[in-house]
Chain A
């Protein structure tokens, strides 16, 4: 799920620091990217490139691991054995994505230990949509289908980016996501075309999630020097607005065709083929991403408990040389 250069951050106007870089190395680096070649970990790269990519891949990894929590809680309560198996397989995939992405981020110099610490101490962020709850099975289905759909829009774009290890991880991730999307769509269609109660449950879940989905790709990019550089370096592959438009174009018709409605009276495609919609509440987005959402505390607490409960296993494994010794007397 969920990679994007600015999905999880409010854009800032920080200095680029480019004036401190070696101009010859910088020109070679930019020429390589312009030729369509990927950057590999031991290549020279500007500080800004390293910093932005680390942050982006790390946040992507955190989003996978935290994103598996709301769906994970539904494994035991999923209706029927087959759905339990499929939900479990999907959640396992998401955790695997986190593993791949943490390793890709590590190639840039930040350790996995530090990333996991920064997740629980709040120094780094994850996709804000996971700070909302999944009170029903239908909410879990909305995540499986539409949050994954949004994630796939991001991931397909980022897979064409310039950093080799991230591309390798994303190729694998995208291949696995094909199942998530179909599985999620199947689950939503099943509910929406089922009994009146199932249908109502799905509609209500969609109504709850739609505002968060509309913020998924982040606020409109201010076309700053920063954004321009990151796009030239193929760190950021598409603007947030372009991703949102692509998502609406692909999925709103699929939502409408199964008779569901969306809770935004202004949502429509205009004559120019551009989707119009009510501006999401970015103040609320800021408030939630900064910690004051319905599930922020729960997500971090559960993640932290998992780390603490697994500590003895890691400690035990770090002593493979320990040998059995028979008591003397």
Chain B
């Protein structure tokens, strides 16, 4: 039996050694969702990172725990990784919109209003930074949405990379639930600023 300095671990009666377990099966850890947060009211949503989850609601919970636990947050969006249409990556200083192949004009205009859907557009301004929400466009397909995004936001630069997400695929926090983000300020012990140790050191030095 395994002995530990922690009595609770000794009580688990784990074997001292055991043959390694078989490798995990595929998807034992679930697929991934990408998470965006809003750090302050009326600011753009920004990409914060992925979470592994079996479905969107759980992804939202994990995202909330992982990305809003320690820092201010006023809203969160999650989307299945697979639902994001990603462009090529350009160099820092360039715009990937410049490289978009032009679709024939009728491919964009023939769709009647009934066939249009909302798409959310995110830009990466610099490699290594995070994608930021720039706005919504109406389009009939992700490809058409990208063209519409070029018309609407193509003057911004640089644009290293664009993410196009069908708005219906984003799970968004509800404005009515805004008080779910207000727990952070109570937990002062998680802030570096709560630890004022210098007084104690100075007193100690004086007494010596």
Give the B-binding residues of A (Cβ under 8 A): 32, 35, 37-40, 42-43, 73, 76, 82, 85-86, 89, 92-93, 96, 99-100, 103, 106, 111-114, 116-117, 120-122, 133-135, 164, 167-169, 172, 175-176, 178-179, 181-183, 185-186, 189-190, 192-193, 257-259, 297-298, 301-302, 304-305, 307-308, 314, 317-318, 320
Contact = CB atoms under 8 A, between A and B. Distances in A.
17 contacts: A40-B128, A43-B89, A89-B189, A96-B69, A103-B49, A113-B23, A113-B26, A116-B29, A120-B21, A179-B191, A189-B204, A192-B204, A193-B203, A258-B204, A301-B15, A314-B30, A318-B54
A298 B3 CA distance: 8
Interface in B104-158: 127-130
A298 B21 contact: no
Given A85-B187, A168-B129, 8 more contacts: A96-B69, A111-B29, A114-B23, A167-B128, A182-B192, A186-B197, A193-B200, A317-B54
B167 to A, nearest CB: 23
A305 B23 contact: no
Contacts of A99: 51, 66
A165 to B, nearest CB: 9
Interface residues of B, number: 61
A175 B51 contact: no
Interface string B49-71: 11110110010000001100111
A189 B192 contact: no
B201 A85 contact: no
A304 B152 CA distance: 52
Contact of A113 (B8, B24, B50): B24
A259 B204 contact: yes
Contacts of A304: 18, 21
Contacts of B70: 93, 175-176
Contacts of A92: 69
Contacts of A190: 200
Contacts of A86: 189-190
A37 B191 contact: no
Interface in B75-101: 86, 88-89, 91-92
Given A305-B12, A305-B14, A318-B54, A178 B192 contact: yes
**Looking at chain B's contact residues, is the secondary structure mostly helix, strand, loop, or mixed?**
loop
Interface of B: 2, 4-6, 8-9, 12, 14-18, 20-21, 23-30, 32, 48-52, 54-55, 58, 65-66, 69-71, 86, 88-89, 91-92, 127-130, 161, 187, 189-195, 197, 200-201, 203-205, 208
B89 A298 contact: no
Closest 10 A-B residue pairs measured CB to CB? A38-B128, A121-B20, A38-B127, A73-B6, A182-B195, A113-B24, A193-B204, A317-B54, A182-B192, A186-B195
B195 A297 contact: no
A257 B55 contact: no
Task: Pick from B8, B55, B86, B192 the residue with the most CB of A within 10 Å.
Answer: B192
Contacts of A114: 23-24
A40 B89 contact: yes
B199 to A, nearest CB: 10
A6 to B, nearest CB: 23
A257 B205 contact: yes
Contacts of A43: 89
Contacts of A178: 192
A6 B71 CA distance: 32
A162 to B, nearest CB: 8
Contacts of B193: 182
Nearest to B124: A40
A30 B9 CA distance: 49
A73 B8 contact: yes
B14 A302 contact: yes
A121 to B, nearest CB: 4
